[in-house]
Structure 1
């Protein structure tokens, strides 16, 4: 059993999982920043679920430098992928080399980055609808099961730590299965997350379904050319079933939509659609629609544009 979970990135997913683990009796410390950190320190973390709202008193710090690494620590990385490498360098200066690093993140680049610095790395296929739009507040939007968090040792294995982590995630109310082929699942999740930039930038309505179909078709073609296996959408759908029942009021949007709504000035698209662009370039597969949506999402973040404000027709016209 982990003696302490260090949740690095206490936003929608990290904050929600940290809060749920804390509720289940685990020792948790959150690493957050800015107004979110200040709110947690002043008023606690407000966890809004289908079961009600709780304010949780969880220790929170601004960086690993404020922590003393200890045997039994487990680090849950939950920041956006563009922040992972800097976070890993900060961790390496503080935590023990053999500390398990668990990538509770979208994309497929985080595990490899972690393995450069730490030998004990685990990937998690994150199915966790959650919202973080207000400092100090996180909202898991599925209830009574808030998330499916299947995991495995990177690059491919199940060991005692993976079994233990799955049990601890289950103790927090999540579904979790250890999987020796976790990256096959994460590449399918990557295909699904190609729609995040579409959700973040394109106006709802006619044309959105076409854009989604095209970005994912490019993704499937690229993975085939690269020889990268992934589970079928049918297998993924069977795993999800009707486990995650979404509730809550108001517009939540993808994690990329939330980045724009909060005006963070950054977005994860380079590690989602950009992963397909990179693989396409490496294997000679054109990826014009993923490249265009990647560039558009970055422009939205850089310029502070409102999410969902690009007409689909104008976006599609730029491809012809």
Structure 2
């Protein structure tokens, strides 16, 4: 089995580096300066115990890849880039693994591909410099539970999970993987506020109404999700943060000035479901709108305080309905 990591940023890049370091066959699809750096210098994986450099095949587009039987494509891009990425994949027989936050990627993939797998990603990591990705936890870099979408397990799911375990990740095959991904979605609702405010006192209070809305919306929609107690039991003390963490994926998008952020597929998922099922979600709509505007205008992270964010929610016009 060859892992073709399509989107080798923070999460995809760390997974690629760990797999390669474990002796598994890996290729990546990347773009821009990151692609150039990987081709010229290799992929640098920075971890608490030191850096490793992995010389792996790197492509600019799926059309360049020498696709072969046994390949598995792993989507590592953010949700707003998934549709375009899927259109570029040539073979509908490819197994597609969604190594992504959010819950819309798997459905988009299943429209075109018959074998789709979801991963619940718990992997503190960063990518702020071309050719370099950082795994911030050790000795276990992350938890990557996996299952077939929409439900169930098969031989491919078991092989994928085993490969991730050989690369040092904790990975359990889960037939109900989307139940865990919806629980992770609730956690990711705070990404936008973290990006807007930074890791500061008062952040938890600012995030609380977003998660309360999210739970109310999922319950009204009849969508099951793992409880906070189940999640805490799964995580335990596995993930030990050993390197400083300035912010999560949305914070990093603002810091790199990418111009886009994935809030439409995190907070926007709750807004969409709320509108479909008649549950207002003004806090999530405010977070989505403000962080998308910040990305589009080139604003860096931490442009407002948690108190200012909560005032913006209170002053909202109910457009989260």
TM class by shorter-chain length? over 0.9
Q: Distance in 1 between matches of 2:159 and 2:199?
A: 42
2:126 equivalent among 128, 131, 150: 131
The equivalent residue for 1:160 is 155
The equivalent residue for 1:84 is 82
Q: Distance in 1 between matches of 2:42 and 2:312?
A: 47
Secondary structure, aligned partner of 2:164: helix
The equivalent residue for 2:51 is 53
The equivalent residue for 1:239 is 234
Q: Deviations over 1:77-130 (max 9, x none)?
A: 010000001000101xx2x32211000000000000000000000000000110
1:304 equivalent among 292, 298, 302: 298
Alignment of 1:167-246 (within 5 A): 167-246=162-241
Q: Distance in 1 between matches of 2:67 and 2:124?
A: 30
Secondary structure, aligned partner of 1:122: strand
Mind listing any 5+ residue stretches in structure 1 that lack a counterpart? none
Secondary structure, aligned partner of 1:133: strand
Q: Distance in 2 between matches of 1:247 and 1:253?
A: 14
2:27 equivalent among 13, 17, 29: 29
- Using the TM superposition, give the Cα deviation of residue 46 of structure 1 relative to its aligned residue in structure 2, in angstroms: 0.6
2:309 equivalent among 297, 300, 315: 315
1:18 lines up with 2:16 in the alignment: yes
Q: Distance in 1 between matches of 2:216 and 2:192?
A: 19
Deviates more, 1:302-311 or 1:100-109: 302-311
- Using the TM superposition, give the Cα deviation of residue 206 of structure 1 relative to its aligned residue in structure 2, in angstroms: 4.7
Checking the alignment, whether the CA contact within 8 Å between 2:206 and 2:307 is kept in structure 1 is: no
1:285 lines up with 2:288 in the alignment: no
Q: Deviations over 1:245-297 (max 9, x none)?
A: 11114x43110000111110000000000000000000000000000000000
Instruction: Tell me how many residue pairs correspond in the alignment.
Output: 314
Q: Distance in 2 between matches of 1:59 and 1:256?
A: 28
Q: Distance in 1 between matches of 2:52 and 2:253?
A: 24
The equivalent residue for 1:150 is 145
Q: Distance in 2 between matches of 1:256 and 1:284?
A: 28
- Using the TM superposition, give the Cα deviation of residue 204 of structure 1 relative to its aligned residue in structure 2, in angstroms: 4.5
Q: Distance in 1 between matches of 2:281 and 2:16?
A: 37
Q: Distance in 2 between matches of 1:145 and 1:202?
A: 29
1:6 lines up with 2:4 in the alignment: yes
Checking the alignment, whether the CA contact within 8 Å between 2:199 and 2:246 is kept in structure 1 is: no
Q: Distance in 2 between matches of 1:139 and 1:7?
A: 16
The equivalent residue for 2:267 is 273
The equivalent residue for 1:257 is 251
What TM-score, normalized to structure 2? Answer: 0.96
